[in-house]
Each structure stands twice: as structure tokens, then as C-alpha cells.
A and B are shown apart, each in its own frame.
Chain A
Amino acid sequence: MNLIAAVKPWFSKRVSRWLDRRLPAVSEVQLHRKNIFILPTGPGFLYLSATALIFVTAINYVLSLAFGLAFLMTSLFILCILHTFRNLQHLRIRGAGAEPVFAGAQAAFVFVLYRNAMQVHEMLELRFPHGNWSYANVLDNQQERVKVFLPTQQRGYLRAPRVTVQTRFPLGLWRAWSHVDLDMSVLVYPQPIAGELPIASGGMSTGDSNSVQVGVEDFHGLRNYNTGDSPKQIAWKNLARGQGLKVKQFVDAQDEHLILDWEQLHGLDTEERLSRLCYWVLSLAQRDVDFGLRLPGVEVCLGRGDAHCKKVLRTLALWNTGAQ
């Protein structure tokens, strides 16, 4: 066991180097004779042992027809090589990228599978190493999209490893597979973690300090209506839902400038700080206010909207990773 444990990493490194040479990363790959591997499966070996048992019985009881059955099983086994192989060959796979995710979530890489006019592909299984299987069939349509999930841990760009595309169709006796590298990456944002709003009190905000409370408790969006509040501030939608008369806290702070500041998060390490910032980016983006971001060496100006939010998150994801 120890020996195996010692040899395994060395071996897998050799294999992956060999694969890199044989199947280099490309944006689109077509499976054919040279990049499909095929071997019997566990059930395949079970089937073979049943065949062997029948063969031995045929010999010992001199049963001509039992010989016939053993040969039929053997023929079917051999034929399955072709059928299983065929189910994978000519399959064209293109990587269609993946939506950015937050660290800790599963990144969904989209693969587009194309078939040619001559054949269909049934029960294709795809996964990243140690991941969960995703299934796909390319039958009536010329192309199918399939999502393959990959767990993420760190922010930054995550390069997708080789994806295993395999099939055991039609009988599960053989497994044909290929490991393809479609040169895909996914942007991973920091994991959002709730915490104090990292805005410098006073200096950062201008305007009425009554309406902008620095602190987590007050900043959950709504507060009860007080006489004298501007009707503009009333959350009419909530009123309509019968949730009582509430006031949107930032409604009157339209010219508010919220700059989320790295420096405000004391006593935390880098990733934790980025997680808190990420949380607030998400919260503020929902609230439809202008906000900005200040990190050591990088600053994102005030802005709002989807594009702005993405830009900010991207900055958080890539800060200090060397990538742009």
C-alpha cells in the first residue's frame, strides 16, 4: 500500500504530462481514434467471468449449444467495443465558458456538444477530476449544452482541469473516455462574509448624518416611519404588501458617496477583508446606490448598476493575484 501511495503521485504526474503532449489544450476538440481510450469496466469483467463459467461448463458437459452461448457472449463483448467507441467518436466539444462564481461555490462550466449528421451520442458522462458526473445526450438536436461543475476555493482565475468525457453505452461493459482540455477558466470572486460596513465614518459621507447611520444594525435597509420623514423615503412597495409604513434609508441620500475601504477592516487578514468587502458590494448593489471601492493600489470610482458591480467584484477577485 505504501508503495502504491508513493508511486501514485509520480505516476499521475507522468500521465498528465503525457496527456498534455497527446491532447494539448484547444478551444474545441473532436473525438476520434487517437484521443479516445477504451477499456472494460467492472461489470464487463463480471460478464467475462460469466462467459468463462459457461465455457468451462460447455467443455465439461460437452454441450455444443453452451459453447454457442459462450461464443455469442464473447461476440457481443467484442462488438461492444465498437458500439461504445462509436458512441464517442466524431463528438465535437467546445468550451462555452463559465459564469463567475463566489469562492466555495461550484463553478458551472458549459460545454457545447455537437454531433455530425451521421450519428448520435447517447448517455455521455462528463466530469472534472473527483467531481460529480453530468450527463448529456446528443440525439435529435445538432448540439446540446451541458454544465459540468467544479468546486472553487480561492478567488482569482480558476483554470479548469481536464474534463473527462466518457460513455459506457450501450451495455456498460466497456468504458470509452477522453480527457480533454478546452482551455477554460472561471473568475472566482471572494466568498462574501457579512461584517461591519467598511466605510470611514464622517469623512467619507457627506449630507445628513441622521439618514446615514454607520453601523450594521441600522443598515438593513428599512426603518419605521417617523413623522416628518419625506414621502419620497417611504417604501411604498412594502406598504402595498401590507408590511407597514417603512422608510428607505438611502432614498434621500442620492448624492451619497459610499466608498468601501480596505483600510477600515482592521485586525483581519487579506482574504477575510476581501470577503467582507465582497459582501457589502453585493448588499449595496441591491440597494441601488452609488458606491466605490478602495484597495491598496487600486481604486474603483463611484458607480452603480450591474456592470459597475461586476467591475468591482472583478477587482476584488483579482486584487494582488497578478492577473488583470
Chain B
Amino acid sequence: MEVQTQIPRLTLWWLLAALFLVITPHLFRLPLWISLLIIACVVWRILIFAGRAAFPNKALKMLIVFLSIPLTIAQYRSLGAGLDAAVCLLIMGTAFKLLEMRKRRDMLIVVSLCYVLSMVGFIYSQTILASIHALITFTVITGALISLQRENARSSFTGNAQLAIRLVAQSIPLTIVLFILVPRVAPLWTMPVPVSSNKTGVTDEMSPGNISNLSRSAELAFRVSFDATTPIHEELYWRGLVLDYFDGRAWRRSASAFQTYAMMERFQRPEQGVRNGTPVSYDIILEPTQQTWIYALPLAQLNVSDVIQDRNFTLHKEKPVTQRFRYQVQSYLNYDIDVELASTLEARALQLPEQELNPRSKQLAAQFRQEAPEDRAYALRVLRLFREEPFFYTLTPPALGEASIDEFLFSSRQGFCEHYASSFVYLMRAAGIPARVVVGYQGGEVNPFEGYTMVYQYNAHAWAEVWLEGEGWVRFDPTGAVAPERISEGAQSVLANQPGFLEDSRFSMMRFRNTQWLNSLRLRLDAMDYAWNRWVVSYDEDMQLQFLETLFGEKARERLYLVLGVAISIFFVIAAYFLLRGRKQKQYDEATKFYLRLTDDLAAQGIVRQRGEGPIDFCARVGKEKPELAEAMADITTIYVQLNYAGKLGEGQKHELLFARLRQSIRELRLTLNSPWRRLVLRAWPGQL
């Protein structure tokens, strides 16, 4: 049915621009050969466009498709990620379609694919930047559709861009209404999640060096906003995992710890914890870690469907955190856990490697035990060791050999938190006191603009929990004995000058925190990102309901569809009113345009043309106020009046001549009116004259 089946040239550029925008973010994630293949397709298409190459023939197309599909699947099979492969195939399909795109129909398919691809980006990133990128892409795709439709004098790049921007801008109000009001439903079926191989954050194994590694990174771990006041820095121990198995070098979760979610669920014993006082309520947005555990202050209590608390009171999510994960927690900072210690837990908390590698430490433990037979006193004695002997808190400790504890305690004496936590727990266990290592984060930086707390990777920390008779598990932080500022002020204040700190985030703004304005810019950007995440990215069913209830009262849920319908209708009516009413465009003829420029300049000189003041009256006034301009002004006014008011002078040559004279006179006058600097600008940019 289409008569015009060819794709206009301008449209092709629009489409290529849209495709470029849509594919670029993925190019860096895709395997190199696929990226190159896609680039080749685009270049080929441009060559076809320029008349330098022919469309691929059928055999070649077949060959490309039949080679690339199995190769892609093979490529991704090793990663076991269905989604990445699907995205990759989608992008390749679009690139191939581009190659054989001849008609409007093909182009419409490519346009639809572009729309879908611009969504795919959100699976990987939902930052403000990603959204702005998507909005620009959307506008460009819309521009491509416009230029496909528009084949008239107005179809220029700027003309189409203006219309595209106008259309998108006009759609935004309704978009916001729909975003807020359209009911969010639970996922219809489970989807493969993109598996990222780079797990971030604290791991479930602690060996010398792997926490100090995290301090090289200024990446965000999570952000917290407290409902009431933020607890003091020393209280901010974000518990992640309990590591209670020591193999002589590394600490792990004991093999008998309940590994699967289902088992944890069965064995959790919340009654073992006693929560005292009033809790601190807060809300955490955790950055993706690709791990299953999540962080909270002890002793946490939360009501999230797929998160449970295990026997060690650490929190586990059913599936790895692959996207930003938001959860609300209440923590009872004053707590008792395991006042009665189960025998299995006790056995685990006393475990030491079978092979004795650290005899001197054992000896030291025995010696301290004699000095302090009471458990708490013993622990304090060990802390005193760290405080009084020349121990150093450093990011770059010397490497340790087989007998890591002995070497650390007696020779190197330089270490990061994992060294202190490890040797502390070792000394406890050696004295027969149940103890374990806890890893997580300590501290956080309060954003002064929004009042929430940012916890970075360099806040990663390891500390100890010791079981004391009648008290249960009590937190001891040996790092605090060596570097009390680490606990009271934070990692950056202690480590800022140490080599290696934030080394992996070379370009992070965190490195410039001493430059006042850069630091405040960083904090502002983070505040923006946080607000974005809190209110837009994590807007879900619950938030929707909460919000609607504040707006429409208790029955919001039942009224949702009604509200939605009314909102859409209101939008439609308003839009219809403004669009269908049409608008009188201010159209000055050329002569008036120049005349108005002159009056603008005169206004700058203090002679403002009054509302309703005709050109002749105005001319008389100018002559009175500035006699030196009188002659030129009279000349201009005569021509202008002739051109504009003396009826239709006719279009012919006379009109043209008059207009040219008017323009010339106005130019000359304006050059005398303006300052030398402005004159220079005007000369450089003659369009403005």
C-alpha cells in the first residue's frame, strides 16, 4: 500500500545516531569480536549509504547469521548467563537488520528494536546518567520516526530535532503520572539475572591482605538513612558475616555452618537474642554485591520476605544482590545474644588448626591467662598488648609466612584490621575463651546535604566477638586499641596519607576530598544519586501504596484505578486544550525584526519604546532626547513606515530596495550605538546585526 517505500537519507542519519546511542553502552561489555562485528555492520551500512558498497547478498547474510549465533551461544555458555547472551543476540540482530534495511517497513522494525534496546541498558545500570542517556536516545529515535514521516521543507535536522524534543517534553507529565499511579505487580515469572563475575565487597574468607585490598577502593558499599538521629561513629559496626573457622591462615565460615537458605531458615533461633531498649530504625540501599549476605547494625530485626537471619544473627538474602537492594531495618544496639551458648557453637568458637604453627602465641596466651584468669580481664590484657607494644596500623604490612600469628605478634607487628582481629581471636581461643571473627563495615560518612550516611568499600573492617559468661557475645575491636581514630573518625582520617589507600579509584573524587569545592560537589552528586535511588529506582509496590495513602487516604488501593483513569483523562483534556487550540505564532516580518533590534539597542541606551508607541512618535522622542541620532532615526523610520504601513507596496523590486536600505541604515546606527566590545561581537557575528 505504500507508495513511498524508500528511506529518506536524513532519516538514515537519525537512525544511525539512535543506534549508536543505544549500542555504545553495551559495546564495552560485549566480547570484543562481537563489538567489532557490530561496528563493521554499521560501517558497511554507512558505505552503502555513501554508495561505496552494495547490500550484502543472501548467501553472505546467511553465513553471518549462521556463524554468529552458535558462536555467541558458545561464548556465553561458559558464563552460564542466559540474559547476557540474549542481549547480545538482540544487539547483533539489530545490527544485521540494519544491513538489510531497504524499505520503511525494515526501518520501523529497527526503530522498535532500538526502543527495546534502550530499555535493556536499564538491566545493567539505573543511574541518573543512564536515565539521561536513555531519554536522549528516546528523543533521537523519535526524531528518526519524524524524519521518516516528514518529507517537506521543514524536514531539516534542527526542525526535526525541535519537534522531537517538543513531543518528548510534552509526554513527560503523563509519564510521571503513570509512573506514580500504575500499579506495580510482582514479577510474572522468574528471570535469569545477569551474572556479573566481579563480586564486590567483603568476602566470606578473611586472610591477611584481603580487607586492606578493599581500602584501595572508593566505591560505594551502601547508603543508610536513619529515621531519627545517626548513632555515633563508634557504634556503626555493620555486621556482615561471622567467620569462625581458622585454618592457620584464613578465616572462613565453618563447614558445618548452614550454607543453604532453606537450612538457615530451619535453624534460625531468634529467641536466642534479647533486644533491649528502643531500636534505631534505618533504611539501607545496598549496592550490588553479587553475594547473598547483607549488612546491618546488630541486633537487627527486619521484615523482608526473602531475607532471613541465621544462627549467628547475620542476614542472608535468598538470591545474590545483583541490583541495588533496599531494605528497612530496626536495630537494638543494646542486645544480648547467646547468653546460653549452645555446645555446637561453643565447639566452633574454640576451634584451632590441628597443626600447631604458632607455638609462641600459645605460650603468650598461657602467660596472659595466668595474669588475668577472668575472661574479660584476659581480653583486655590482650588489647593492652596491642596498645602498649609498638604495633602499627598500616595498609601495606609485610607479607607473613606459615606461622602468620607468631610472625605478626612477635616480629612484623604491622598490620591492618584483619591481622589484629585474627590474632586477637586466636589468642582468645588459645586461652579457651569462645571467640570469632566478624567481617563487615565500620563507620561511614554523613552527607551534610541530605543527612544520610555513605559507607564505602574502604570502610570494610574485621573485628572480634568474644563470648563472656552471662553476657553472651561481646564485641571487641582490637584495631581500636592500635588506631582509635579508625573507629572514632573513620578509615579515611587514618589512612588518607598511606600509600595504597584508594589506589584503585585513581580518578575518584574521593581523592580530592581536601579540596573544599570538589568535596562538596562530590557530596552533592552523591546526595542526588541517593535521592534518585531512594525515590525513583526503588519505587515499588510498598512505596506506591504509602504514597497513595498519604494522598488519598486509607482506601487508596481500591481507588487506584479510578485515580489513574481520572489522572489520564485530566492530562488528555489539558493537552488537548493546549494543542488543539492552536497558537498564534508571533511572526514578525523581516523589516520589523530589524527595527526591533534597533529599539532594543536604544532601550539599552535608556530610550525605551513604550507600549503602543508608534514608530513616528518614538522617532520624535529619540530626536528630542538624543539630537545626534535624530537624522538617522528619521531616515529609518520613514523607510520602515513606508514598508510596513503604506499598504501593499508590491512585492517587486521597489520593496526589495527599500528593505535593503532600511537594513543598511539600521546596521550603521546600531554600530554607533553599541560599545566597542559589543561592536566587535556584532561584526564577528554578522547574523546578529
Whether A associates with B in a native complex is yes
A64-B538, A65-B134, A65-B536 given as contacts; is B115 within 8 A of A139 (CB)?
no
Task: For A169, give its contact among B150, B171, B540, B583 (CB under 8 Å).
Answer: B150
CB distance from B146 to the nearest CB of A (A): 5
Q: Is B575 an interface residue (CB 8 A)?
A: yes
- Kindly identify, within residues 124 to 159 of chain B, every residue whose CB is under 8 Å from any CB belonging to chain A: 126, 130-131, 134-135, 138, 142, 145-146, 148-154
Inter-chain contact A74/B167, CB cutoff 8 Å: no
Inter-chain contact B167/A76, CB cutoff 8 Å: yes
Inter-chain contact B579/A65, CB cutoff 8 Å: no
Inter-chain contact A122/B154, CB cutoff 8 Å: yes
Contact flags A40-73 to B (C-beta < 8 A → 1, else 0): 0001001101110110111111111111111111
Residue numbers in B under 8 Å from A75 (CB-CB)? 171-175, 178
SS of B interface (majority): helix
Residue numbers in B under 8 Å from A64 (CB-CB)? 126, 536-540
Q: Is B681 an interface residue (CB 8 A)?
A: no
Q: Is A79 an interface residue (CB 8 A)?
A: yes
Task: For B119, give its contact among A69, A82, A140, A169 (CB under 8 Å).
Answer: A69
Q: What CA separation (Å) do A60 and B185 show in the bound complex?
A: 9
Residue numbers in A under 8 Å from B582 (CB-CB)? 86, 90, 116, 118-119
Q: What CA separation (Å) do A89 and B610 show in the bound complex?
A: 38
Q: What CA separation (Å) do A299 and B182 show in the bound complex?
A: 79
Q: Is B191 an interface residue (CB 8 A)?
A: yes
Residue numbers in B under 8 Å from A59 (CB-CB)? 184-188
A54-B119, A89-B580, A137-B153 given as contacts; is B178 within 8 A of A71 (CB)?
yes
Q: What CA separation (Å) do A256 and B4 show in the bound complex?
A: 54
A60-B191, A61-B123, A66-B122 given as contacts; is B142 within 8 A of A76 (CB)?
yes
Residue numbers in A under 8 Å from B575 (CB-CB)? 79, 82
Inter-chain contact A83/B538, CB cutoff 8 Å: no
Inter-chain contact A69/B189, CB cutoff 8 Å: no
Q: Is B168 an interface residue (CB 8 A)?
A: yes
CB distance from B183 to the nearest CB of A (A): 11
Q: Is B179 an interface residue (CB 8 A)?
A: yes
Q: What CA separation (Å) do A53 and B184 show in the bound complex?
A: 16
Residue of A whose beta carbon sits closest to that of B130: A65
Residue numbers in A under 8 Å from B130 (CB-CB)? 65
Inter-chain contact A117/B112, CB cutoff 8 Å: no
Q: What CA separation (Å) do A174 and B527 show in the bound complex?
A: 42
Residue numbers in B under 8 Å from A71 (CB-CB)? 174-175, 178-179, 182
Q: What CA separation (Å) do A47 and B113 show in the bound complex?
A: 10
A43-B108, A139-B154, A170-B146 given as contacts; is B126 within 8 A of A65 (CB)?
yes
Residue of B whose beta carbon sits closest to that of A54: B119
A54-B115, A79-B170 given as contacts; is B138 within 8 A of A69 (CB)?
yes
CB distance from A131 to the nearest CB of B (A): 10
A46-B112, A59-B185, A62-B187 given as contacts; is B149 within 8 A of A82 (CB)?
no
Residue numbers in A under 8 Å from B168 (CB-CB)? 72, 76
Q: Is A236 an interface residue (CB 8 A)?
A: no
Q: What CA separation (Å) do A90 and B568 show in the bound complex?
A: 26
- Most chain-A CB neighbours within 10 Å: which of B3, B122, B540? B122
Residue of A whose beta carbon sits closest to that of B575: A82
CB distance from B180 to the nearest CB of A (A): 10
Q: What CA separation (Å) do A168 and B116 show in the bound complex?
A: 23
Inter-chain contact A50/B150, CB cutoff 8 Å: no
Residue numbers in A under 8 Å from B539 (CB-CB)? 64
Q: Is A219 an interface residue (CB 8 A)?
A: no
Task: For A65, give its contact among B122, B163, B189 (CB under 8 Å).
Answer: B122
Q: Is A250 an interface residue (CB 8 A)?
A: no
Q: What CA separation (Å) do A172 and B151 show in the bound complex?
A: 13
Task: For B115, give its contact among A47, A78, A135 (CB under 8 Å).
Answer: A47
Residue numbers in B under 8 Å from A65 (CB-CB)? 122, 126, 130-131, 134, 536-537
CB distance from B272 to the nearest CB of A (A): 33
Residue numbers in B under 8 Å from A54 (CB-CB)? 115-116, 119
Q: Is A320 an interface residue (CB 8 A)?
A: no
Task: For B152, give its contact among A66, A80, A137 (CB under 8 Å).
Answer: A137
A71-B178, A169-B149 given as contacts; is B580 within 8 A of A50 (CB)?
no
Inter-chain contact B540/A168, CB cutoff 8 Å: no
A59-B187, A139-B152 given as contacts; is B146 within 8 A of A171 (CB)?
yes
Task: For A62, give its contact among B119, B171, B540 (CB under 8 Å).
Answer: B540
Inter-chain contact B179/A50, CB cutoff 8 Å: no
Inter-chain contact B3/A133, CB cutoff 8 Å: yes
Inter-chain contact B179/A68, CB cutoff 8 Å: yes
Q: Is A284 an interface residue (CB 8 A)?
A: no
Residue numbers in A under 8 Å from B112 (CB-CB)? 46-47, 49-50
Q: What CA separation (Å) do A173 and B111 show in the bound complex?
A: 12
Q: Is A132 an interface residue (CB 8 A)?
A: yes
Inter-chain contact A82/B151, CB cutoff 8 Å: no
Residue of B whose beta carbon sits closest to that of A74: B178
A50-B112, A50-B115, A73-B115 given as contacts; is B167 within 8 A of A83 (CB)?
yes
Q: Is A85 an interface residue (CB 8 A)?
A: yes
Q: What CA separation (Å) do A88 and B8 show in the bound complex?
A: 24
Q: Is B572 an interface residue (CB 8 A)?
A: yes
Q: Is A123 an interface residue (CB 8 A)?
A: yes
Residue numbers in B under 8 Å from A171 (CB-CB)? 142, 145-146, 149, 167
- Kindly identify, within residues 632 to 660 of chain B, every residue whose CB is under 8 Å from any CB belonging to chain A: none
A50-B112, A64-B537, A68-B131 known; 15 other A-B pairs, CB under 8 Å? Answer: A54-B119, A56-B188, A59-B186, A61-B123, A61-B193, A69-B119, A69-B134, A71-B179, A74-B178, A79-B170, A117-B584, A119-B582, A123-B151, A137-B153, A170-B163
Closest 3 pairs between A and B when the two form their complex, measured CB to CB? A118-B582, A75-B171, A71-B178
Name B residues whose Cβ lies closer than 8 Å to a Cβ of A: 3-4, 108-109, 112, 115-116, 118-119, 122-123, 126, 130-131, 134-135, 138, 142, 145-146, 148-154, 163, 167-168, 170-175, 178-179, 182, 184-191, 193, 323, 536-540, 568, 572, 575-576, 579-584
A-B contact pairs, 24 of them (CB 8 A): A50-B112, A57-B119, A58-B119, A59-B186, A63-B122, A63-B126, A66-B123, A68-B179, A70-B119, A72-B171, A72-B175, A74-B178, A76-B142, A78-B568, A79-B174, A80-B167, A82-B579, A83-B579, A133-B4, A137-B152, A170-B145, A171-B145, A172-B108, A172-B148
